[in-house]
Amino acid sequence: MFRDKDKLVDAADLWVSAGSLEHWRWSLEYAFRYEKGFTYWGSHISAEELKGIFAVTRGVGGSSATLLESATLELVRETRVRTPHIVLFYVNGLGVIGAGLVTQLEFDLLNLFWPEERKEGRVLYPFRFKMKILWLTPSVARNPCSPDKWQADDELTAAARSNARSGLNHVMRAEAVARIKDLLRVRLKEFDETVLFAPAYGRLAELSVEKLSEVVKRRKLVFNREVLVRVVSALKCGKHVLLMGPPGTGKTALAKAVAETIGFQPYVCTANSSWTRYDFIGGPVIGEGGRMAWRSGHLLEALSRHLEEGCLLIVEELNRAEADKVLAEFFTMFASNDPGEWVFPFSLLDEIRSYDYSRDRGARILLEKLPQLGERLGGYAIPSDFRVVATVNSFDRTYLFTLGFALQRRFAVVEINPPEPEEERKAVARQLKRGEDDEVVRLASELVKKVRALTGRIVGTATLVDVAMIALDAHEKEGMSIEDAIDLAASMALPSQLEGLPRDVLEKLASNLEEGYKQTAEVVRSLYRYVPE
């Protein structure tokens, strides 16, 4: 009966539990953070009232007694029919925000649950009932810990208003019972229960270009708006993101800004040529006493953290790894652009169980929490808001075509280039806490612009920051002229950006830098020996 929501509602006894916004905030925060999908409510009824607990009276204590009497008698009846008890969550001054099925009744005279109890250091609501959440209004489901954003269900609020006195109240009037049940049948069918198992803090659905722009600005970063639009659109439509561009264009910084915007913890790892399945997925290692133990790789560790508090996996320099080999199981788990089809395979969980996983935090969390998300064909559901952002360092757009089809199908490729020179110069000045017309920043910007034009190489903004920062230090602390300081800084910061350029391009660059930037020109010429004539 309880699997059929219509039958559940039809058979249910109805209750309204009214309380303050702060009390309901904590109860729902508990449901999202600690015991996924379950919450508690309580009553002032005390242990001393146990003697007369089955005496049905009116008021708060009477309703609590009625609930306890009804539920307890069900347990001792010689019948398979059980009456479910559904409680409407009523916020004083707001209205009905959700509903839950009572699953457990208890007296707790020791544990302090609500903030008010912890503040006073004593139990104020000893009679407590645990509820499985059946439904929440959309605004509460999206913002369980932000009560300022909550909105009540107007129709259910109107139907339950006569029973919205403080505390727990039994809905008895036939007209009210019928109306509430009609509404609940619809609400329960519409409610997506998987939202209860998503991380409580940070919702991908709330990500917007405007919010990301605010974080980018606060971090003193600068990107073309088109880049932010593409990143946000890709993430919200179920894609992972591959940020591609030259070194120093802010790819990792942008990924971390995304994590901050949606309230996720960034988990950053850097790929290399020796990466295998053990590094990214995980595998057995020799543990204590020679026993084989499980060690989770970066993907499983990030996913376990996501199940706890929300996590964005950031893989730097993915181009260094053999992506098709390392990501083979990733492709299986994330086989579709539809997050509703993502699956954590039973076979991988069985593999984890076959080894000693007691010391692997990530494995323990996955084994505990994945079953709570429900089964899909071949495994358990993966949270629909889990994402991977990878970065690729490349000066050549044709590199995109060397990526395997499997990777391209799952990742949206977003190319990042430096912003317009004037916008970039002002952003660098702000980052270095200089005025927008600072002479050192201006001349450094002009030099980097010149190098870009002469080489066709997209030198990253981070290189401009390095040149300006070194030059400022040399000019202000060492007393060098601005021109000499910039020449020194460029000779130190630019060479790494010139890797792979043909000999004729290097010669042209050195020739053009000879006047005014002799040190830099000399360093460029020193690169000739690494390039065939």
Question: What per-residue confidence (pLDDT) applies to 47?
Answer: 46
**pLDDT score at 122:** 85
CATH classification of the domain holding 43: 3.10.590.10
| Residues 258 and 143 grouped into a single domain | no
28 and 140 share a domain?
yes
Contact call for residues 471 and 416 (beta carbons, < 8 A): no
> Half-sphere exposure (CA, 13 Å, Cβ side) for 174?
0
From 161, 196, 231, the end of a domain falls on 196
Q: Looking at the structure, do residues 254 and 388 belong to the same domain, yes or no? A: yes
Q: Are 266 and 256 in contact (CB under 8 A)?
A: yes
Distance between CA 249 and CA 232 in Å, rounded?
18
Quick one: 433 exposed, middle or buried, by C-beta within 10 A (0-12, 13-18, 19+)?
A: exposed
The pLDDT value recorded for residue 60 is: 40
Kindly report the pTM of this predicted structure: 0.63
Residue where one domain finishes, among candidates 178, 196, 214: 196
Find the Cα–Cα–Cα–Cα dihedral 477, 480, 484, 488, rounded to 10°.
-40
* CATH classification of the domain holding 378: 3.40.50.300
Looking at the structure, do residues 344 and 274 belong to the same domain, yes or no? yes
Write down the residue that tokens 């242990």 correspond to: 47
**What is the rounded distance in angstroms from the CA atom of residue 362 to the CA atom of residue 368?**
10
Same domain for 284 and 261, yes or no, is yes
- Residues contacting residue 525 through CB under 8 Å, at least 6 positions apart: 506, 510
Decide which of 414, 443, 471 is a domain's last residue: 414
51 and 158 inside one domain: yes
Total of domains in the chain: 3
pLDDT of residue 238: 87
Number of Cβ within a 10 Å radius of residue 2: 12
Separation between Cα atoms, residue 49 and residue 109, nearest integer Å: 13
pLDDT of residue 45: 58
Looking at the structure, do residues 238 and 186 belong to the same domain, yes or no?
Answer: no
Angle between helix 503-513 and 439-455 (nearest 10): 150
* Residues 263 and 304 placed together within one structural domain of the fold: yes
**Strand (E) positions, 179-288?**
240-245, 265-270, 282-286
Q: Would you state the pLDDT for residue 389?
A: 98
Rg for the chain (alpha carbons), in Å? 31
Instruction: Look at residue 77 in the predicted model and tell me its pLDDT.
Output: 44
443 lies in the same domain as 318: no
Whether residues 399 and 451 share a domain: the answer is no
- CA–CA distance, 366 with 362 (Å, rounded to integer): 6
Task: Give the pLDDT confidence score for residue 204 in this predicted structure.
Answer: 81
Q: Are 103 and 86 in contact (CB under 8 A)?
A: no
d(C-alpha 100, C-alpha 15), whole Å: 10
Q: Are residues 190 and 215 in the same domain?
A: no
How far is residue 474's CA from residue 519's CA, in Å, rounded to a whole number? 15
User: Whole-angstrom Cα distance, residue 455 to residue 397?
Assistant: 15
Q: What was the pLDDT predicted at 55? A: 42
Same domain for 157 and 61? yes
- Identify the domain containing residue 268 by its residue range: 204-414
**pLDDT tens across the length of the chain (533 residues):** 456 889 999 999 999 999 889 889 888 888 876 677 889 888 765 444 444 444 433 334 445 555 555 544 443 344 444 689 999 999 999 999 999 999 888 777 777 776 677 778 888 888 888 899 999 999 998 888 778 889 999 999 999 999 888 778 899 999 999 999 999 999 999 887 767 765 444 468 778 999 999 999 888 888 989 999 999 999 988 899 999 998 889 999 999 999 999 989 999 999 999 999 999 999 999 987 788 999 999 999 999 999 988 899 999 999 888 877 888 899 999 998 888 889 999 999 999 999 999 999 999 999 999 988 888 899 999 998 999 999 998 765 566 666 677 888 889 999 998 888 898 899 899 889 999 889 999 999 999 999 999 999 888 898 999 999 999 999 999 999 999 999 999 999 999 889 889 999 999 999 999 989 999 999 999 998 888 77
